[in-house]
Structure 1
Amino acid sequence: MPQRRVVTGRSQEPRQRFAEELRLLRAERGVSLKGLAEELGWDASSFGKMESGRTLGSPEVVEALDQFYGTPGLLLALWELAMADPSQFKERYRRYMVLEAEATSLWHYSVTMPPGLLQAPGYVREALVAGGLKGAELEQQVEARIGRQKMLEGEDAPPFRVILFEAVLRNSLRDPREWRTQLEYLVEASERPNITLHVLPFGSGLHGLVNTNVMFLRLSDARTVAYAENDVWGELVEETSRVERLHRTYDAVRDLALDPVKSRTFILRMLEEVPCEQST
């Protein structure tokens, strides 16, 4: 096979290409970061982080840049590709992320934390900081996790069933305001037509997933795969017999959980216990 010819000499990795285009467009316009900030009304350091690849910025900022540079839709398209790029995730998750993006339906069981697809931004940040991330890597992983959630939005969003053990709803964040936001996010998610949310209360008894988070993905070729993990281990399971055993265990856990209406009421009652303002 002949070697691929390099046409532009620019990066083929979406995140790097996005940052590269931002730098080139600003250089062609002959404007400084400070000047760009004065024109568009955002902080110069934000544009600097985007051009260095430390952050991708928000769609509003990217749309403003598209308008400023006269590149209607180009930067936003590159931004969307960068947000969806599995290379931004840690190595052991990358294949899973590729499969997740192709899933036609999903099922999840959570032991101590809401699944990443249902974490509010404040929760995402605190969870990643607790895991030891900081600086540019932290910002990248926050954006990556929040960006994944877009797959559950829109008319063509896949159905998602999630079971939350009660510990998920008891292990609150340090900031009561952020915790209230997270609980409200779960209530809002439970009202979406494609999301079915169950709560498994304390006292439901032992079961086969006591210490294991698991996500099942139904793929377009009708296969189902699973990703099982705890705090120190994670594994993508593709062998049919193992996936089926895990799924039978999941179904047994679902039978122990509250139905969606009672689960929503359960979370609303917990919301009533959270103060609206952070105490001083």
Structure 2
Amino acid sequence: MPVRRVVTGRSQEPRRRYAEELRRLRTTRGLSLRALADAVGWDPSHFRKLESGETPGGPEVAEALDQFYGTPGLLLAMWEMAIGDLTQFIQKYRRYMKLEAEAVSLWHYSASAPPGLLQTAGYAREALATGWIKESELDQQVKARMSRREVLEGDNPPLFRVILSEAVLRTALRDIAAWQEQLEYLVEASERPNITLQVLPFSAGPHGLMNTAVMFLRLTDGRAVAYYENDLRGELVEEYGSVEDLQRRYDAMRDLALPPAESRKFILRMLEVLPCEPST
């Protein structure tokens, strides 16, 4: 049997492939993003997000581009596959949210940002805005993120252990007052009986979860599941061996983290060195 040849080096992931095809069609025509926007009628920044994979856009854009490029139905079909891939992600995330609400304990590692369960409204607003969420949807998204904090409240909240990379505490918001509020909230949260907060300092060196934020959920039936994510996507892990591998990485990293009392002092020192806001 002849060896199968690779006929293209392009991505096999539907959303990324869609973005690549949009970029290929535009550059083949020798068009800039501005020229394409002028011809089709959308803002150039929207096409930039489509071609970078930040958003798949809507079907009306795919149809308009099909007509413009003379590819009837091709881009719309690719968009449908890209959305199908995104839908699978949304379904997994919804399942994770359901499991999170039922968990008896949660263990989290934050690589670059405070976990959603410990974010203030000011932090959530600035962080979500960097994802190019429409202004009309921003308030709703912030409200939804704030509602997640209810998981850690009530008469019988789950135990929550969180390890923050020092990078989380060094990446300040542009709004100094909002950043101060976030740091103060972390200190307050660390004093609750159901929350254990630790800081992993840069001096700890490399570890097994350097670029991965991960949450472990211990469920009522004794099972553990994990959810890891980056800026573009997340993955729910339920297979025992894979969860155990992530757990071993977490345990090894936890041994390098500062104890809770020292971690609280670390955050308080960060508060002490915050720049004063200019007087008005």
Q: Deviations over 1:86-117 (max 9, x none)?
A: xxx95552111111111110000001100000
CA–CA distance in 2 between the matches of 1:210 and 1:192?
A: 27
Instruction: Provide the residue aligned with 1:269 in structure 2.
Output: 269
Instruction: Provide the residue aligned with 2:4 in structure 1.
Output: none
Give the 5 Å matches for 1:1-280: 90-278=90-278
Instruction: Provide the residue aligned with 1:64 in structure 2.
Output: none
Paired residues of 1:225 and 1:236 also in contact (CA < 8 A): yes
Percentage of matched positions with identical amino acids:
68
Instruction: Provide the residue aligned with 2:52 in structure 1.
Output: none
Counterpart secondary structure, 1:160: strand
* Unmatched runs of 5 consecutive residues or more in structure 2: 1-88
CA–CA distance in 2 between the matches of 1:207 and 1:137?
A: 37
Q: Cα RMSD over matched residues?
A: 1.5
Q: Deviations over 1:222-267 (max 9, x none)?
A: 1110001112231100001110110011010100000000000000
Q: Deviations over 1:106-151 (max 9, x none)?
A: 0000011000000011001111101111233222211111001011
Q: Deviations over 1:139-177 (max 9, x none)?
A: 221111100101101230100000000000000000110
* Unmatched runs of 5 consecutive residues or more in structure 1: 1-88
CA–CA distance in 2 between the matches of 1:188 and 1:94?
A: 29
Q: TM-score, normalised by structure 2?
A: 0.66
CA–CA distance in 1 between the matches of 2:94 and 2:175?
A: 31
CA–CA distance in 1 between the matches of 2:267 and 2:278?
A: 20
Moved over 4 A (4+): 89-92
Deviation at 1:276, TM superposition (A): 4.9
The count of residues paired between Structure 1 and Structure 2 equals 192
Counterpart secondary structure, 1:227: strand
Counterpart secondary structure, 2:255: helix
CA–CA distance in 2 between the matches of 1:245 and 1:265?
A: 31
- Whichever residue aligns with residue 162 of structure 2, its letter is V
CA–CA distance in 2 between the matches of 1:114 and 1:278?
A: 26
CA–CA distance in 1 between the matches of 2:206 and 2:133?
A: 34
